[in-house]
Chain A
Amino acid sequence: MSYVIEARGLVRRYPADGSPIRAVDGVDLVVEAGEAVSVMGPSGCGKSTLLHLLGGLERPDEGELRLGGVRVDGLSETRWAVFRRRNVGFVFQAFHLVDELTAVENVELPALLVGMGRREARHRALELLERLGVAERAGHLPDHLSGGERQRVAVARALVNEPLIVLADEPTGNLDSRATGEILRLFGELHKAGQAVLVVTHDARVASTADRLFTMRDGAIVGQTRLGADTPVAGLFADLADLGSER
């Protein structure tokens, strides 16, 4: 079977005084269809660089990368760009919406870029905004949206071409607790709908919602674990029983 993401031995070096820094140092990682995966680690551990490599925003110095079974690490810049538009949706901490375009125009842009007709692109963009609960904000510029709304628009944009994978880099980094909750709820729904998602974060709450968690340190993956709640955690509210026997 082919994986949504299959990375083998990815290495990315940055020049530095003395020997180059290995920002990503031999990472193997696979993501299956429909899987939600999170990569967690302290800042500077290389997790954002890894996300850039997986989405083709940077090129690996070594290693192989396949997305949906297609070998992409050797693609030319132009072909990578075409492949990426169709198959990878990005969500960033700073939203990266185009300030001059309204919410719906931001969402339909990637669809227009892959050659979808105007009418269909608009229809799909509006449908997504509706699904993400920001339909009534469709005609607003990003400046007039709250952080949570902007991120929902950004998620809609990431989804508009029905990508193989959504790559999210600290998607809640600029959001308060309530808006974070809304984005997590949304990711939960995407996951249920079968969308594969890879989230890079240092936020434990975000990381904990994935099926599998990778822990990164110094450019390498040092731990991998399945978080699925087959065994419910006992005693989340065990204190309550104790309250009865107090004093």
Chain B
Amino acid sequence: MRDVILSLLAKEPAHGYELRQRLMRALGPAGGELNPGQVYVTLSRLERAGLVEASEVAQPSYPDKKVYDLTAAGRERVTRWLADVTWSKVAPLEFHLKLFAAADTGLADPVALVDAQRLELLRELRQLQELALREPPDSDGALLLEGASLRLQADVRWLEACQQHFLERESR
């Protein structure tokens, strides 16, 4: 959240409400998870960290509004963020270990665990699909949904490989 807010400020100074609107547009249906104060809290943290600076702008009939701008340190962090290639989790380690533990101890049937997990992922996929139907196909939000959906599909395929693996083991 910090990084995207910093980046949005790289073009021009902005106030919190404006940033929030731009984020909501990018997030589409995921925007609902953004709690109302999150942008403001993040901005004040960034200010304390010296990455942005705020100036008060007088408005004729409203209270003064705070407009935020990047500092040099902030600008540098944006550059680093854009170049960073860190990716969120690749290996489904936890579930893999759960299956291993189940098979090793006999506490649960790994094939049944896979079935239950797959059903859960299919439910998520279905929900993504329903969200996608409501989203204009070319929107930024639809792009996020497509990413989520492709990842889930890959996970389902992996679960099928898991099932195959344990079924073959059982039949040996």
> A residues engaging B (CB < 8 A)?
42, 177-178, 181, 184-185, 188, 203-205, 207-209, 213, 215, 217, 223, 225, 227, 229, 232-233, 236-241, 243-244, 246-247
Contact = CB atoms under 8 A, between A and B. Distances in A.
Contacts of B115: 215, 223
A237 B126 contact: no
B123 A238 contact: no
Given A204-B122, A205-B149, A225-B119, A247 B2 contact: yes
A209 B126 contact: yes
A133 to B, nearest CB: 12
B125 interface: yes
A241 to B, nearest CB: 6
Contacts, number: 79
A239 B131 CA distance: 17
Contacts of A246: 1-2
Contacts of B122: 204, 207-208, 213, 227
Given A177-B146, A181-B137, A227-B122, A205 B33 contact: no
B54 to A, nearest CB: 19
Contacts of A204: 121-122, 125, 152-153, 156-157
A223 B160 CA distance: 14
A240 B33 contact: yes
B22 to A, nearest CB: 15
B1 A244 contact: yes
B101 interface: no
A106 to B, nearest CB: 26
B171 to A, nearest CB: 11
Contacts of A181: 132, 137, 146
B35 interface: yes
B108 to A, nearest CB: 17
A207 B32 CA distance: 27
Given A181-B137, A208-B125, 10 more contacts: A177-B150, A181-B146, A188-B133, A205-B125, A205-B129, A208-B129, A209-B129, A215-B115, A229-B127, A246-B2
Contacts of A184: 129
Contact size class for B? Answer: 35 or more
B123 A244 contact: no
Nearest to B1: A243
B124 interface: yes
The binding surface of chain B is classed by DSSP as helix
A157 to B, nearest CB: 24
A225 B112 CA distance: 14
A205 B30 CA distance: 19
B73 interface: no
Interface string B113-157: 001000111111111111111000100000000101110110011
Contact of B127 (A188, A215, A233, A243): A233
A208 B133 CA distance: 14
Most buried by B among A203, A232, A240: A240
A236 B148 contact: yes
B130 A241 contact: no
B124 A203 contact: no
A210 to B, nearest CB: 8
A239 B122 CA distance: 19
Contacts of A236: 30, 124, 127-128, 131, 148
A232 B153 CA distance: 19
